[in-house]
Amino acid sequence: MNASRVDYYTLEEITARFGGELIGDGNIRVGAVGTLERAGPDEITFLANARYRPLLASTQAGAVILAPTERASASVPCIATDNPYAYFARVAQLLHPRRSAPPGIHPAAVVEDSACVASSAHIGPFVYLGRDVVIGEEAEISSGCHIGAGTRIGACSKLYPNVVVYHECQIGSRVILHSGVVIGADGFGIAPEEGRWIKIPQIGRVILGDDVEIGAATTVDRGAIDDTVIEEGVKLDNQIQIGHNVRIGAHSALAGCVGIAGSARIGKHCTIGGAAGISGHLEICDHTVITAFTLVTKSITRPGVYSSGMPSMAHHAWLSNAAQVRNLERLARRVRDLELEVSRLKGEQS
Amino acid sequence: MNASRVDYYTLEEITARFGGELIGDGNIRVGAVGTLERAGPDEITFLANARYRPLLASTQAGAVILAPTERASASVPCIATDNPYAYFARVAQLLHPRRSAPPGIHPAAVVEDSACVASSAHIGPFVYLGRDVVIGEEAEISSGCHIGAGTRIGACSKLYPNVVVYHECQIGSRVILHSGVVIGADGFGIAPEEGRWIKIPQIGRVILGDDVEIGAATTVDRGAIDDTVIEEGVKLDNQIQIGHNVRIGAHSALAGCVGIAGSARIGKHCTIGGAAGISGHLEICDHTVITAFTLVTKSITRPGVYSSGMPSMAHHAWLSNAAQVRNLERLARRVRDLELEVSRLKGEQS
Amino acid sequence: MNASRVDYYTLEEITARFGGELIGDGNIRVGAVGTLERAGPDEITFLANARYRPLLASTQAGAVILAPTERASASVPCIATDNPYAYFARVAQLLHPRRSAPPGIHPAAVVEDSACVASSAHIGPFVYLGRDVVIGEEAEISSGCHIGAGTRIGACSKLYPNVVVYHECQIGSRVILHSGVVIGADGFGIAPEEGRWIKIPQIGRVILGDDVEIGAATTVDRGAIDDTVIEEGVKLDNQIQIGHNVRIGAHSALAGCVGIAGSARIGKHCTIGGAAGISGHLEICDHTVITAFTLVTKSITRPGVYSSGMPSMAHHAWLSNAAQVRNLERLARRVRDLELEVSRLKGEQS
């Protein structure tokens, strides 16, 4: 799908680089990744989910990455490894390296005098870099981005077009921010007084650790007083809202449309499913899993899987059941009364 | 509300163009659409919902579009038609044509040499067109848009300001993308390895069919390996997230804030209500209706209406009921025990 | 955290300006706000929530703003006031004034001839101002914003980078729009006809009252025929979707990720929690509180607190309970049957 020059690697070169057990002809050359279903003889694919095993017999791929236990099923050369999906990720990075933009500042960018841009960095057209901005080596700031005064962007980070980072924020190295991301907007800090809201200036910052990736149109608010912190290796999908003073522990991953209210603290190595919500001022411990559509209103202190998303059913049946939910306390009382009656009846009988 | 030149049409001219039965004076001229409540004598309105029928008697509109069965209630000239809302849509398009921007490339745009822009297309200021981009006839790319290398935009498509389309995507003809839309950002593809996440390059594309419209700040991720596909005539509202490898069938419509997880396949002619969520790797058949706030976790194979959104009630009552939901399995067991006891009691009595 | 010049104020100067009772040395000077936990001797903090009271004894802050009832607990100079949080907001505004951008139009902006920009306004680089746009005194339009033809921006309003306001909208004075906000995109108006959707031109406007603040990536659609109206003093958090023809009453506040469907009317002084949803064409009365994750499908006519968000629990327990919800109507019928049986048994016994 990619019109640019392709580099080919033999399976031997790949296993020399990444390990794994080579099964079959090591001289096979591949230049791209593909799916089990559609990969051609120049492409390498993977099997990480048993339900796709039937496709192994018919795949036209040049090679397959799979677990040692699956090797018997394959009809083509294989690389056997304990973690085929991670191995595939590395091979895909090798075959499909990120296109890097040429170094230099586009003449249609506006860069304040006191900004400091590494010579190997790329600054695209229509980019604005404020006072005292620092852009690290090999960083790429694509067209239409705005970097506020005093913000630092680490080495090798990539900002896709139309990202905004407000003033005084710290972005680590190898960070990826997709288009429409907004980092450092004011948190929702308002105080009620006589029926009106008074704005509380938001003077904290946003700190993004190294290797953070943030999906399109996700927003991370700056801290009210202290900082909002996303630790290293965190992956955020699209359309997520992170409130002020939130801390997300290292290597956690959040799916699309999640909302984290202000001052919540998410542990390390957590995963949060799509459109889940975390209330403010609570703590989620390390290694917690929250499933999609779940609302968390209290701190979670034991690792595990937590849920409250209600799966769908036919509309009319759902309406009847939902109506019963609204009478559930009464129903429970009626069951209690029945238990008393029945125990009385049993007493009278005996 | 629109300061620009207005074109007037007589009711006769309108029915000549769009059909329908004219009732009353065909020489009445209208130059705008309005609501039953507020339209003036130069405006035409419609009745498509019986609950607004009482307004028919008092409307000051110049004319009303309505169903044949409603014609008796009207006090002003009418156009009777079986689908008044669709008829109204066509009249509104006639009276309020889209303003088209002048052809040409604004001097403050940056266009790579190998990009190909139709002479009738409009490219606004601060637009960036990457290498090998193709912009079709009469397409409008408004200020601040970024079109990545190799992407094609079809004829008569309109991109509102600050839209981003990443590289290698295909946008059909007559497509409308509202501001803040991001097409083709990386899908959420990460593989866990020893407590860290390894990025999987996303090498698929996004393909948008003809006549697709996408609302403000909606994001459609590119495919991981194969493509993400939105078929012709699909309408997406604002703030929607479409994951990688999703396919949405022709003429489906999704309301605001919906999330579709990766590799889900939505059929044709489906409608999905606001903030509903569809889990990954499942299929929804054609002509399915999902109501607002519903979570779909399994494939749907029969057309129909599906729900799981729980309507609100007073907070304290809700808290009691929600607490009971959390004990529901125990309650069900208690009911089973009661049934056994009662059947035993009946046996002893007889 | 802010490298710029700091102004210091004595506690006496602060109480002279904002009232409150000064307890302790009025010559203490503060130049920033801080948290109870981390503020230093040059900083002023506040206590508004009893659970943070234990920190009062150990705080290193120069002064604390608190309620008169808390004054005995403080170890440092205090300002006692009935609404410490609102008082703190005013002090924070004093110590951390908004940075204002210099007046003038950046040479890299594009301003149509008929646009009218106040001489004290700031227009940043890569801004586009359409025909007949009016920008008020001391307004700031930051880099990458697009203001459509005929739109007016009131005095002292601030648009952060990459905001889009479509044509013919009205933005009040002292309005704040954060990055990624889109005002005035087309509402989701489509009419079905023979399996396809016909677009209904959206000819209404968006009207934002004075002192409205809108968070990052929030979208407010223009009206279909009449206008979408956000009244004065409304505060919208990030990632919110406001459909066409919605009206939000003065001084209401909506948390992140809320969705309001078309033609809903929200009263004044309402608060809506995160990710709540309001169906279309209904009315919520003044002073209503909707909690997070709640779905409102019917009008609310009595002020109060309303909910339907289901709090999370351990996944396996939740699965069992959720399965029971899907059988709830049947369970209720079984309870009814039991009640009949038991009453029959009692009758036979007596």
- Residue C240 and residue B163: Cα distance in Å, rounded? 19
Using pLDDT thresholds of 50, 70 and 90, give the confidence band for residue C2.
Answer: very low
Nearest by CB to B199, which of A85, A213, A293? Answer: A213
Placement of tokens 């409250």 in the chain: A308
The predicted-structure confidence for A142-169, as pLDDT tens digits, reads as follows 999 999 999 999 999 999 999 999 999 9
Which residues in A lie closer than 8 A to residue C345 (C-beta atoms)? 345
Residue contact A320–C339, C-beta within 8 A: no
- Name the residue of chain B whose CA is nearest to A337's CA: B338
Mean of per-residue pLDDT scores for chain B: 95
Residue contact C295–B309, C-beta within 8 A: yes
Q: Which element (helix H / strand E) includes A28?
A: none
- Name the residue of chain B whose CA is nearest to A96's CA: B201
List, as one string, the DSSP characters of B181-200: -EEEEPP--EEEETTEEEE-
> What pLDDT is stored for residue A50 in this prediction?
85
Give mean pLDDT, residues C324-337: 93
Q: Which of C81, C85, C237 to mutate to test the interface with A (most CBs of A within 10 A)?
A: C237
Please determine, for residue C3, whether its predicted confidence score (pLDDT) is greater than 80.
no
> What pLDDT is stored for residue C350 in this prediction?
62
- Name the residue of chain C whose CA is nearest to A205's CA: C1
- Residue A187 and residue C303: Cα distance in Å, rounded? 27
> What pLDDT is stored for residue B44 in this prediction?
97
Nearest by CB to A164, which of C2, C32, C161? Answer: C161
A244 is catalytic: yes
Q: Which of B312, B333, B341, B348 to mutate to test the interface with C (most CBs of C within 10 A)?
A: B312
Residue contact B345–C348, C-beta within 8 A: no
Which residues in B lie closer than 8 A to residue A142 (C-beta atoms)? 146
Neighbours of chain C (3+ CB pairs under 8 A): A, B
**In Å, what is the CA distance from C43 to each residue of C2, C64, C79, C258?**
13, 9, 13, 35
Give mean pLDDT, residues C158-175: 98
Q: CA of C185 to nearest chain A CA: how many angstroms apart?
A: 16
Lowest mean pLDDT among A279-283, A343-347, B151-155: A343-347
Placement of tokens 């019917």 in the chain: C298
Mean of per-residue pLDDT scores for chain A: 95
Residue of B122, B146, B178, B244 marked active site: B244
Residue of A122, A146, A178, A244 marked active site: A244
Please determine, for residue A7, whether its predicted confidence score (pLDDT) is greater than 80.
yes
Give mean pLDDT, residues A292-313: 97
> What pLDDT is stored for residue C6 in this prediction?
76
Helices (H), chain B: 11-18, 84-95, 315-325, 328-349
Report the percentage of chain A scoring pLDDT > 90: 92
Using pLDDT thresholds of 50, 70 and 90, give the confidence band for residue A235.
Answer: very high
Please determine, for residue C50, whether its predicted confidence score (pLDDT) is greater than 90.
no
Pair type for strands C29-30 and C9-10: antiparallel
Which residues in A lie closer than 8 A to residue B189 (C-beta atoms)? 89
Q: Which of A196, A302, A337 to mutate to test the interface with C (most CBs of C within 10 A)?
A: A196
Report the percentage of chain B scoring pLDDT > 90: 92
Residue contact A329–B324, C-beta within 8 A: yes
The predicted-structure confidence for C230-239, as pLDDT tens digits, reads as follows 999 999 999 9
> What pLDDT is stored for residue A1 in this prediction?
41
Which residues in B lie closer than 8 A to residue A33 (C-beta atoms)? 203, 225
Which residues in B lie closer than 8 A to residue A335 (C-beta atoms)? 331, 334-335, 338
Which residues in C lie closer than 8 A to residue A164 (C-beta atoms)? 144, 160-162, 179-180
- Name the residue of chain A whose CA is nearest to C44's CA: A225
Nearest by CB to C180, which of B90, B97, B217? Answer: B217
- Residue C103 and residue C123: Cα distance in Å, rounded? 8
The predicted-structure confidence for A74-106, as pLDDT tens digits, reads as follows 889 999 999 999 999 999 999 999 888 999 999
The predicted-structure confidence for A101-134, as pLDDT tens digits, reads as follows 999 999 999 999 999 999 999 999 999 999 999 9
List, as one string, the DSSP characters of C212-273: -EE-TT-EEEPPSSS-EEE-TT-EE-TT-EE-TT-EE-TT-EE-TT-EE-TT-EE-TT-EE-
* Chain A to chain C Cβ contacts (< 8 Å): 238
Residue contact C188–B85, C-beta within 8 A: no
Is residue B31 a contact partner of residue B85, using CB atoms and an 8 Å limit? no
Q: Which of A110, A147, A182 to mutate to test the interface with C (most CBs of C within 10 A)?
A: A182
> Is the alpha carbon torsion for C16, C18, C22, C26 positive or negative?
negative
- Name the residue of chain B whose CA is nearest to A336's CA: B334
B229 φ/ψ angles, rounded to the nearest 5 degrees: -130, 125
Which residues in A lie closer than 8 A to residue B192 (C-beta atoms)? 85-86
Give mean pLDDT, residues C263-289: 98
Mean of per-residue pLDDT scores for chain C: 95
- DSSP E strands, A209-272: 213-214, 219-221, 228-230, 235-236, 241-242, 247-248, 253-254, 259-260, 265-266, 271-272
Please determine, for residue B328, whether its predicted confidence score (pLDDT) is greater than 50.
yes
Please determine, for residue A49, whether its predicted confidence score (pLDDT) is greater than 90.
no
Is residue C70 a contact partner of residue C53, using CB atoms and an 8 Å limit? yes
- Name the residue of chain C whose CA is nearest to B44's CA: C225
Q: Which element (helix H / strand E) includes A7?
A: none
Please determine, for residue B165, whether its predicted confidence score (pLDDT) is greater than 80.
yes
What would the two tokens of residue C138 be?
């001391």
Give mean pLDDT, residues B105-131: 98
Using pLDDT thresholds of 50, 70 and 90, give the confidence band for residue A5.
Answer: low
